[in-house]
Structure 1
Amino acid sequence: MNRLDGNAMAGDLREIFAFDVTAAEYTCAGCGAAEAIGALMLWGQEMGRVARCPHCDDVVLRLVRATDRVFLDVRGAVRLELPLAGS
């Protein structure tokens, strides 16, 4: 078996992240609820965005924009189900 670095996933990741992410489904690490990202409750606008589970209020997703990058923390989700383009 050949061992490759993460760059070998570039094509797969480009396909996954080239869609409307609000349609992806998350599974909350706190309560196990599964729902579309678009159903999360959004808090904060100035420093970054904090998205909480509408069922248990746990933080599922954090997003912070810097001048040259975006930081995305999804440790509050145990799973993200992402639709592929054309599916």
Structure 2
Amino acid sequence: MTDPRVDGNELAGPLREVFAVDITAARCRCAGCGGTGVLAELQVYDRAPGLVGRCPHCTAVVLRLVRGPGRAWLDLSGLSYVECAIPES
């Protein structure tokens, strides 16, 4: 059986549709264990109706993204913060 996980870079395309910046480069902190890193380091499970991102330190669910026709649902409740760089105008 193959490993069902892919890395957090799998989120780049879908999250680009929601955010104006590449959010996978954003620093974040897991609300469960306090581990920090960039979103691209999440362990992402993509074999479901949506994408589920888990903390690489404690495997807690930190992100859920589900898309439907013309909309997306994004749950970041497993993160205590997301810090992203905003390009200067």
Identity, in percent, stands at 44
- Any idea what SS the aligned residue of 1:18 has? coil
Name which one, 1 or 2, has greater alpha-carbon Rg: 1
Q: Which runs of 4+ in 1 moved over 2 A?
A: none
More strand by share: 2
Q: Which residue among 30, 33, 48 is the counterpart of 1:31? A: 33
DSSP-derived class of the 1:27 partner = strand
Task: Kindly tell me the number of residue pairs found equivalent between the two proteins.
Answer: 70
Q: Which of residues 21, 24, 33 is equivalent to 2:23?
A: 21
Q: Helix, strand or coil: the match of 1:84? A: coil
Residue 13 of structure 1: aligned partner: none
Q: 5+ residue gaps in structure 2?
A: 1-18
SS at match of 1:80: strand
TM normalised by structure 1 equals 0.76
